[in-house]
Structure 1
Amino acid sequence: MKPSVRLVAERAKVSHATVSRVLNNVDVRIAPETRLRVERIASEMGYQPNRNARALATGRTQSVALWATNLRSVYYGEYIHFIHEETLRHDYDLMVSGAKVPQYGVVGKDVTLDTSKLMSWPVDGIIAVDLPRATVPGMKGSLLGGIPFINVGGYVLESADYVQVDFTEPAIEAVQHLATVGCRRIAYLVPDWFEWFIPSDDPRLSGYKSVMAALGQEPEFIVSPNERREGVASVLAAYIEQHGCPDGIFCYNDEMAIGAFLELRKLGRRIPEDVALVGCDGIRESEYLHPPLTTIMPPLEEMCSVAWSFLMKRIQDPTLPLQAARLKARLEVRGSSQR
């Protein structure tokens, strides 16, 4: 017979209501020894809670949604991994949804995110990753359609709970590092939604421009059709053919840096002797290049842990004041830029 709340209650010699409150983590006073006995017996019997019944009893589904614009990237896969670890530790389920952006951040035009599907899901909270500057329908403070909401990443909506990674100092340090190792022409490899970065004051862009100004060098921008590695090759080859090869390249992310790494090798350029290369994001693949890629490392595990803590507090009390944290990334110098 499939274990039920009634059978657990009979064996534990407590009421049906007590078992339900213990197993659904209802915030009521129950003697610690009773709680432990119910949990032990439920485990011994192999009891599996009915999610629908739990939702009716507690008003919660024990599930959260992770919402991101880019689900192909290795970098965002790390966010999914660390948030999933939090859900496992706290007995939650995780749903993942891609955010549809009709038109990506064109200057002077309104951009609205489609929240209709996300808000129809029966989740207790939403964690959004690197949402672009946009209108988010249904957003009121730290609630999206009444659902507790927190956003994390390099780009955040500061009107809602957030955990932001600060790339400012390491971006400056990265470009200064390239100059220190002798680079005379330092280019910035950036995706084609370049216009969006200027008004958004992207810290990587502003860091690059500030160091170039201090060095008395003209900025060079190599604009790729997207932020993926496969988009880099033809653009980089064409740029080098037309303008010659920079001896230092700072890349918007590690995906693009890996694409540049492979294309430079195809073109017969040595790394770092001919071209010193720096990425950003700290994805694990960056360690396995030869030489390994110098990169900016955001504290993703810590970010996800703090975000989870903020979200749980918001679920418990939707009226809390704004919760915010800024965590610093760090530059990790490796062989791709060491001369």
Structure 2
Amino acid sequence: MSTIRDVARLAGVSAATVSRVLNDKGYVSEEKKEKIEKVIKELKYEPNQVARGLAKKTSKTLALIVTDIANPFFPELAKGAEKIAYLNGYSLLLGNTKGMDHQDDDYVKLLMNKYIDGVIIASHDIDTKILKEQENTPMVVLEMDNDIENACTIKVDNYYGAMVATRHLLTAGCRKIAHIYGPQYDSTAKERLEGYKAVISGTLGATAILTAGDFTINGGAEAAQNLLNKYPDIDGIFAGNDLMAIGVLKKLNQLKVKVPEDIAVCGFDGIFLTQVTNPELTTIEQPIYKMGELAAEKLIFRINHPSYKKETIELKTKLNIRESTLIIRSGNKRKHFVDK
């Protein structure tokens, strides 16, 4: 493997001159520059990126911190971010906060102190005070309300998307619609809950039926059972994310409840698994891959423009109607679905 000294020797210059060309730092005559670049090409010389990073105080590395990589939402997000990182000469480091034994803040500090050039935060497990302490690090924050100076925040229209989901269930013939909401420290869960409540409160004869969930499949299944024990005549369920909606489908299948004939089900996120459930799941789809791409693009821009002002971007969602809400019902008798 060729070294910088090999390049310098064949080009008839010093290693320091070669370094100036590689790092585009300091004056080098055009004649010497062309000779050095020619030798680099002939030797197929690859600069040591770690050494270059230490010299420039940069590593060409971005960090993506997510809540739970087991949630299919986050791998799709990571794919979009990794593509843009790669195209711009960056590596992507992935961090997962779930299962860190409540040491998430120390974990974030550790990541940010390891010569990363910028970070994408896609986790609500992190104290925003910790993020504010890291304001000198270029940062993009996903789906989290914050007052971090110079950060770019990217969100989707969760409130409106939840309204669309609830209205769709009404249009599908549902008259007693329940909502399984996510953890209320999560701003996305709060906004989706408020969107549901806004539609129900404006619908004649409708009453909000609510139960808590935890954004997991098991949490969705447990919440569905709780709903059916208390409200056996519900005919629609809007789950606060797709994983909980998949858990609802699992529980309804165990109880021999037909979807959508007896109960229609709608989720939120648009993860791939919604296409392989039985029945396929209606969902409010957010542009997950695009969000990852945009997050990386905005982060790299801020690395190159460190004084750029605070920015908030809101992306649109869309209703993706599938089998779980497809049949329109009217006036059919409700059954009692209680787990025995």
The alignment's TM-score, normalised by the length of structure 1, stands at 0.82
CA 169–103 in structure 1, closer or farther in 2 if over 3 Å, else same:
farther
Correspondence 1:194-233 to 2 at 5 A: 194=184, 196=185, 202-216=190-204, 217-224=206-213, 226-233=214-221
User: 2:173 pairs with 176, 179, 182, which one?
Assistant: 182
Unaligned runs of 5+ in 2: 328-340
Q: Which of 96, 99, 104 is equivalent to 1:98?
A: 96
From 158, 165, 175, the equivalent of 2:156 is: 165
- Equivalent position of 1:146 in the other structure: 136
Deviations 1:285-317, CA, capped at 9 Å, x for gaps: 111123321111111232222222221222123
Q: Does residue 1:327 correspond to 2:325, yes or no?
A: no
How far, CA to CA, are the matches of 1:4 and 1:178 in structure 2?
66
1:296 and 1:35 map into 2 onto residues whose CA distance is 55
CA displacement at 1:132 relative to structure 2: 5.5
Specify which structure has the bigger relative contact order, considering alpha-carbon pairs within 8 angstroms and separated by 6 or more residues: 2
Task: Report the counterpart of residue 112 of structure 2 in structure 1.
Answer: 119
Report how far residue 99 of structure 1 moved: 3.7
Aligned equivalents of 2:66, 2:35: Cα separation in 1 = 39
Question: What is the DSSP-based 3-state SS (H/G/I as helix, E as strand, rest coil) of the residue aligned with 2:129?
Answer: coil
User: For 1:275-290, what aligned pairs fall within 5 Å after superposition?
Assistant: 275-290=263-278
Aligned match of 2:66: 68
Looking at structure 2, the residues matched to 220 and 323 of structure 1 have their Cα atoms a distance apart, in angstroms, of 36
The change in CA–CA distance for 1:163 and 1:138 in structure 2 (over 3 A counts) is closer
Q: Name the amino acid aligned to 2:228.
A: I
Distance 1:54 1:238 in 2: 58
Q: RMSD of the TM alignment (CA)?
A: 3.4
Distance change (3 Å), C-alpha of 1:164 and 1:233? closer
Question: Which of these residues, 84, 87, 95, is aligned with residue 86 of structure 1?
Answer: 84
Contact map agreement 2:221 2:247 (CA 8 A) in 1? yes
Per the TM alignment, residue 91 of structure 1 is displaced from its structure 2 partner at its CA by 1.9
User: Take 1:27 and 1:150, find their aligned partners in 2: how far apart are those partners?
Assistant: 32
> How has the CA–CA distance of structure 1 residues 270 and 92 changed in structure 2, closer, same or farther, with 3 Å as cutoff?
same
Q: Which segments of 5 or more consecutive residues in structure 1 lack a partner in the other structure?
A: 105-111
Amino acid at match of 1:219: A
Taking structure 1 as reference, are residues 236 and 329 closer, same or farther at Cα in structure 2, changes over 3 Å only? same
Partners of 1:281 and 1:62 lie apart in 2 by 31
Q: Partner letter of residue 120 of structure 1? A: N
Q: Secondary structure at the match of 2:153?
A: strand
**Aligned CA distance change for structure 1 residues 321 and 242 (closer, same or farther; 3 Å):** closer
- Counterpart code for 1:87: A
**Quick one: distance in 1 between partners of 2:303 and 2:261?**
53
- Looking at structure 2, the residues matched to 27 and 284 of structure 1 have their Cα atoms a distance apart, in angstroms, of 50
Q: Which deviates the most, 317-326 or 264-273?
A: 317-326
Letter in 1 for 2:96: G
Match of 2:4 in 1: 5
Opposite residue 188 of structure 1, the aligned amino acid is H
Aligned to 2:236: 248
Alpha-carbon distance between aligned partners in 1 of 2:64 and 2:50, rounded to the nearest angstrom: 21
Q: C-alpha distance in 1, partners of 2:67/2:123?
A: 8
- Secondary structure, counterpart of 1:202 in structure 2: helix
Q: Distance in 2 between matches of 1:315 and 1:46?
A: 29
- Sequence identity (%): 30
Give the deviation of 1:61 after TM superposition: 0.7
Q: Over residues 128-148 of structure 1, what are the superposed CA-to-partner deviations in whole Å (9 max), with x where a residue is unaligned?
A: 0143684322626xxx16321
- SS of the aligned residue for 1:83 comes to helix
Match of 1:136 among 122, 125, 129: 129
User: Are the counterparts in 2 of residues 132 and 155 from structure 1 also a CA contact under 8 Å?
Assistant: no
The alignment covers a number of residue pairs equal to: 323
**Which residue identity does 2:59 align to in structure 1?**
T
The residue type equivalent to 2:73 in the other structure is: Y
Answer with 1 or 2: which has the greater Rg. Answer: 2
Contact 1:22 1:35 in 2 (8 A): no
SS in 1 for 2:138: strand
Q: Aligned-pair distance for 1:8?
A: 4.2
CA contact (8 A) 1:26 1:58 kept: no
Mapped contact 1:297–1:331 kept (Cα < 8 A): yes
In structure 2, what is the Cα distance between the partners aligned to 1:163 and 1:59? 27
